[in-house]
Amino acid sequence: MGRFVHRTVEVNGINMHLVEKGEGPVVLFLHGFPELWYSWRHQIEHLSNCGYRAVAPDLRGYGDTDAPSDIKSYTCFQLLGDIVALIDSLGVDKVFLVGHDWGAALGWYLCQFRPERVKAYVCLSVPFGLVNKRDPTVKPVENFGRLFGDDYYICRFQEYPKMEKELAEAGTPYAMKNMLTHRDPGPIIFPKGKYPPGFNRHMSEDLPHWLTQPDVDVYISKFEKTRFTGGLNYYRNIDTNWELTAPWTGTGISKDIPVRFITGELDLVYTTPGTKEYVHGGSFKKDVPGLEDKFWVQPGVTHFNNQEAAADTTHLIHQFISKFK
């Protein structure tokens, strides 16, 4: 990846590693779990050739960015502070924002709490309703347990350090391949002791067409170093984020931020009970007035659509942000 420029910047009390390429308006890419800046390699390459400055950091706890040990260092406001400081370090007032998975959730927080920093937002996978506090009476993790049982992945991820131990026993190469190649649209269950931890209990020996062994090796090399605690700590703050954002319950996103939503037809978030109803039933548009009327659902595509359907996803991102360049 020698074509890309690697830098480290100090933001919000931590050192953050980022990769960038190109000149022009900034497009800021925020990755999810268990990913890295590398998840955006296709988009960085294409958009930097289209007159944009494409920037993708390793988020707090990932890759070559610092990983504080305190779980409370991963609340939504700590993460938001990282991104605002990162934008400041880039020397711009506003960015085109693209987020996937936890990066999508962080994108919604930026749009909600610092809307003046966002020109337009392209959200992959996670609609606003899964981030905003929807039920003021039941904590989210408790609610997930009621719906899917205590073996549901978000519930299991709360178990520190048990989850880290299970992932270590499975081995980073197995865990990364297992999670990146997951295609089951049903709830993600981690039965204790029945098979090695992972999203896909029927993992194939062969990699899918969109993922090479050198790609997987990039993830393995970084997660062998950092392990998974940083990424798991995002999940361990779900209830804390619910409490911290209580004063904004019921508030949406500014109508002045144009938004495009892209998801895979088999995405594990899109297929979660209630998500399709939220997206297509009018509530999403009510919460996000700047949202396009058309939602981009990619046939046969799963969760990591920025990699699995790289060309289509990149085209949809570029097509949208070019309207506001």
What residues are labeled active site? 101, 235, 303
CA 19 from chain centre, in angstroms, equals 17
List the structure tokens of 256. Answer: 């002045």
What is d(CA 270, CA 125) in angstroms, rounded to the nearest whole number?
7
